[in-house]
Amino acid sequence: MSLKHRLSAVNWLPIAAATLVACILLSLLSSSFMSYTNLQSVLVQASVTAIMAIGMTFIIVTAGIDISVGAILFFTSSLFAKLMMDTGSYTLAFACALLCATVLGALNGVLIIKYKITPLITTLATYTMYRGMAIHLTGAQNIPVPREMGFLGNGKLLSIPVPILLLAVVLAVGLYLFNATRFGLYARAIGNSAQSARESNLPVNKVTVFAYALGGITTGIAALILLARVGGLQSGIGIGIEFTVIAAVVLGGTKLSGGDGTIVGSVIGAIFLVLIDNGLNLMNASPYVYDIVKGSVLLIAVVIDKVSVTRQQQHLLNQRAARIRATG
Amino acid sequence: MKHLLYRVRQLLSLAVLCCVSALANADAIKLGLSVDQLFESRVGVLNAIKSEAQKQGFEIIEVVADGDPQAQNSQIQSLVTQKVDAILVCAVDQNTIERALLGAKRKGIPIVAFDRALPDSRAVDAFVGPDSITDGYLAGQYTAQQLAQIDGNIQVLELLGALNDQNGIDRSKGFNDAIAELPNVEVIAMPTDWDSARALAATQNAFQANPDIKAVFAATDTHIPSVETVLYDIAKLHPVGSDQHVVVTGVNGSNDGYQATLRGNADGIVVMDLHTTGVTAVQLAAALINGESVELNNVIPGNFYTTSNIEANKANIWGAQ
């Protein structure tokens, strides 16, 4: 296989190239962009979305989707803040928040499997339910979290910001699960064809529920980082983040139709989205152009992705046709 | 048989009770309360509305749209079919609910908008809410006074609210009007969409590009902890009175703003009077139901409290209760 074809098989390459181009452009437009501090803060800012995007990749690869992650984030943060306020116990608050996030994620998977309702409708319903639960739990009040918790969002270990370290750990686990385990393989097989996966006796139900549970736990970790960074619970937390997360995953090279995906691409996708905001902030752009620029960049990225997929498919078809001609 | 008669008697008593309570409720004035979504300051206004309604013997039917304008449209239509005597509305989006409001108007139901003005609405009979221009102006005036002695170009970071939110727009206008009194001032405006995570990122990026920013104005003081985080990270979190202090102000009156001002990290906050807003909304509705004429615009300016007087005024700050 030629280098060109080998490269075209790496599905996160387009977003990596786009990120590189964006970095070059931004470093030309703003002198402070390429500083170590700014690049570090870009990674810290991207950590929440990137961690959630890793979990979402497993879900989308199974041809699913979870739009309730924003609500899971809100509920997890609410539960943590409430438990901290009422009990003062970090251990209890951390354990309960992460457990709850995992259970809520898994519940989505169970509902989808058991009642065979489309993931979009199921998670739309649970989005409303989880948000309602969070508002009921806190009475829509803001709850500050203890100052020491800030370590999780703003602290450093060995001079590296904690959110970046947590992202690295989640990325390593995600890569291992996706590329080196049967779970990763089965998840892709289910995404390609759930029917064939069932006929091959693959544990479709278990794998699907586990994928949604992974989405839940990564959202739980992200929620705690976000809570620590912002300094307290606010009832608007997590609104709309599901779309940013899904955009990061799709931009990264994971197909919404399932079956094919990339963990590295999702993380780069999240970084790319933060870069746009960062660049506009650094250039002191007018507040009114943000959505136009972000929308346009997303549209261009999606079109490029579509074109590259079509070319890839065309190339495979040409290869197959050539083989048939050769044997004929 | 005896048991059956006993059950029948129980059922009849229950039916009579239901009828009596329905008749009693039919006499009570019913206020339809249509809310955009629930968050801390909104809950503060709602509590004041409910408490005043209870005082006046009114019944409240509350519906929450959770940020969905279409849902709010349907909810208002449902309030009309429930024959409420007046509607108190805090709109998600003026244009989407206008038809439902006009429908209510045609049925003779008075409409009071609260917290979010609906300036172009043909249906609203009265509005009560914050005087956001004055609120922003108070924060801007204080900031301008603090920075008046600085020579040369002065950079000020403004963390905007949602760009389509009238309160956010007005706070920004008021702040900019006041700060414009300073010569050579440059306002760096960053959108946050009322999201503290975005406010945090925007503040980080703004200080990265403009390390000499002298003041920060937050359209909502719930963003002040994010500002504190960034200032701490870049070793610029110095208390009020220190030479290197960055002036921080905000509007709202939340506990976040109160605590930051109390610590001396923020200079002051403009506190909205949520209680008066809620009480006035019910009083306006009552007057309209009685056929009295009322003022169309009823604005309630906030009070600006600084590090020197915020503790003494704790009772007036809704978030500190």
- From B185's Cα to the closest Cα of chain A, the distance in A is 15
Q: Do A231 and B225 touch (CB under 8 A)?
A: yes
- The neighbouring-strand residues paired with B87 are B32, B111
Q: What is the CATH number of the domain that holds A268?
A: 1.10.3470
Residues 5-44 of A with CB under 8 A from B: 30, 32, 35, 37-38, 41
Render each residue's pLDDT in chain B as its tens digit; 321 residues: 555 555 656 555 555 544 444 444 556 899 999 999 888 899 999 999 999 999 999 999 999 998 888 999 999 999 999 999 999 999 988 788 999 999 999 999 999 999 988 888 999 999 999 999 999 999 999 999 999 988 889 999 999 998 888 889 999 999 999 999 998 999 999 999 888 889 999 999 999 989 999 999 999 999 999 999 899 988 999 999 998 999 999 999 999 999 999 999 999 999 999 999 999 999 999 999 999 999 999 999 999 999 999 999 999 999 998
Task: Give me the residue from A139, A140, A281 closest to B206, CB to CB.
Answer: A281
Q: Do B233 and A154 touch (CB under 8 A)?
A: yes
ipTM: 0.83
Mutating which of B157, B205, B220, B269 best tests the A interface, going by the most A Cβ atoms within 10 A? B205
- A235 near B CB under 8 A: yes
**B269 membership: H or E segment, kind and range:** strand B268-271
- From B41's Cα to the closest Cα of chain A, the distance in A is 8
**pLDDT per position as a tens digit, A103-146:** 999 999 999 999 989 999 999 999 999 999 999 999 888 888 88
Task: Give me the residue from B190, B197, B206 closest to A226, CB to CB.
Answer: B197
Pick from B173, B319, B298, B207: nearest CA to B254: B319
| Residue A287: partners with Cβ closer than 8 Å, 6 or more residues away | B160, B163, B189, B190, B191
pLDDT at B278: 96
What is the pLDDT averaged over residues A164-175? 97
Backbone angles phi, psi at A235, to 5 degrees: -70, -10
Chain A residue at shortest CA distance from B64 = A132
- Mean pLDDT of the residues in chain A: 90
Contacts of A48 in chain B (CB under 8 A): 197
pLDDT at B94: 79
Q: Do A287 and B190 touch (CB under 8 A)?
A: yes
Mutating which of A235, A271, A275 best tests the B interface, going by the most B Cβ atoms within 10 A? A235
Task: Give me the residue from B67, B208, B255 closest to A282, CB to CB.
Answer: B208
Asked whether residue A263 carries a pLDDT value surpassing 50, the answer given is yes
The domain of A234 spans: 3-327
Q: Where are the domains of chain B?
A: 2-124, 132-272+306-320
DSSP letters for A192-229? H-HHHHHHTT--HHHHHHHHHHHHHHHHHHHHHHHHHH
DSSP letters for A135-179? HHHHTT--EE--GGGHHHHH-EETTEEHHHHHHHHHHHHHHHHHH
Matching CATH number, B2-124, of 3.40.50.150, 3.40.50.2300, 3.10.20.440, 3.90.1310.10: 3.40.50.2300
Chain A residue at shortest CA distance from B200 = A230
Q: Do B197 and A38 touch (CB under 8 A)?
A: no
Helix A36-61 and helix A263-282, axial crossing angle in degrees, nearest 10: 140
- From A48's Cα to the closest Cα of chain B, the distance in A is 10
- A239 near B CB under 8 A: yes
Q: Do A128 and B256 touch (CB under 8 A)?
A: no
pLDDT at A142: 87
> Residue A123 carries which side chain, given as an amino acid letter?
T
- A282 near B CB under 8 A: yes
Contacts of B36 in chain A (CB under 8 A): none
Q: Do A235 and B38 touch (CB under 8 A)?
A: yes
**pLDDT per position as a tens digit, A21-80:** 989 999 998 888 888 888 999 999 999 999 999 999 999 999 999 999 999 999 999 999
Q: Do A230 and B233 touch (CB under 8 A)?
A: no
Pick from A251, A266, A262, A270: nearest CA to A308: A251
- From A75's Cα to the closest Cα of chain B, the distance in A is 14
Q: Do A150 and B194 touch (CB under 8 A)?
A: no
What is the pLDDT averaged over residues A12-18? 86
A–B interface: beta-carbon pairs under 8 A: 103
Chain A residue at shortest CA distance from B321 = A141
- From B211's Cα to the closest Cα of chain A, the distance in A is 10
Q: Do B163 and A287 touch (CB under 8 A)?
A: yes
- From B162's Cα to the closest Cα of chain A, the distance in A is 10
Two domains, one topology: B2-124 and B132-272+306-320: yes
B132-272+306-320 carries CATH number 3.40.50.2300:
yes
- A135 near B CB under 8 A: yes
Q: Do B40 and A235 touch (CB under 8 A)?
A: yes
Q: Do A239 and B209 touch (CB under 8 A)?
A: no
3-state SS string for B11-30: HHHHHHHHHHHHHHHHHCCE
- A155 near B CB under 8 A: no
- Total tally of structural domains belonging to chain A: 1
Backbone angles phi, psi at A179, to 5 degrees: -105, -20
Distance (Å, whole) CA A326 – CA A328:
5
